[in-house]
Amino acid sequence: MSQVVKRAYKFRFYPSGAQAAELSRTFGCVRLVWNRALDARQRRYATESKSTTYVQASAELTKWKSLPELAFLNEVSSVPLQQVLRHQQAAFAAFYAKRARYPRFKSRKRSRASAEYTRSGFRWRGGELTLAKMAEPLDIRWSRQMPDGAVPSTVTVSCDSAGRWFVSLLVEETVAALPSTPQTVGVDVGLTCLAVLSTGEKIVNPRHERADRRRLAKAQRDLARKMKGSNNREKARRKVARIHARITDRRTDFLHKLSTRLIRENQAVAIEDLTVRNMVANHALARAISDASWRQLRSMLEYKADWYGREVLVVDRWYPSTRVCSHCGALHARLPLDVREWTCRCGAVHDRDVNAARNILAAGLAER
Residue ranges per domain, the chain? 2-176, 184-317
Q: Are 61 and 81 in contact (CB under 8 A)?
A: yes
Segment 315-330 mean pLDDT: 88
In the chain, % of residues over pLDDT 90: 75
**Which residues sit opposite 166 in a β-bridge?**
12, 158
pTM assigned to the model: 0.87
Pairing of strands 154-159, 113-118: antiparallel
- Residue 189 to residue 274: CA distance in whole angstroms: 10
The catalytic site residues sit at: 188, 272, 353
Model confidence pLDDT, tens digit, residues 229-277: 999 999 999 999 999 999 999 999 999 999 999 999 999 999 999 888 7
- CB 33, CB 81: distance < 8 Å: yes
The pLDDT, as a whole number, for residue 55 is 95
* Rg of the chain on CA atoms, in Å: 25
Cα 202 to Cα 191: distance, rounded to the nearest angstrom:
11
Query: So what's the pLDDT on residue 181?
Result: 94
pLDDT tens for 126-146 read: 889 999 999 999 999 999 988
Residue 286: Cβ within 10 Å count:
12
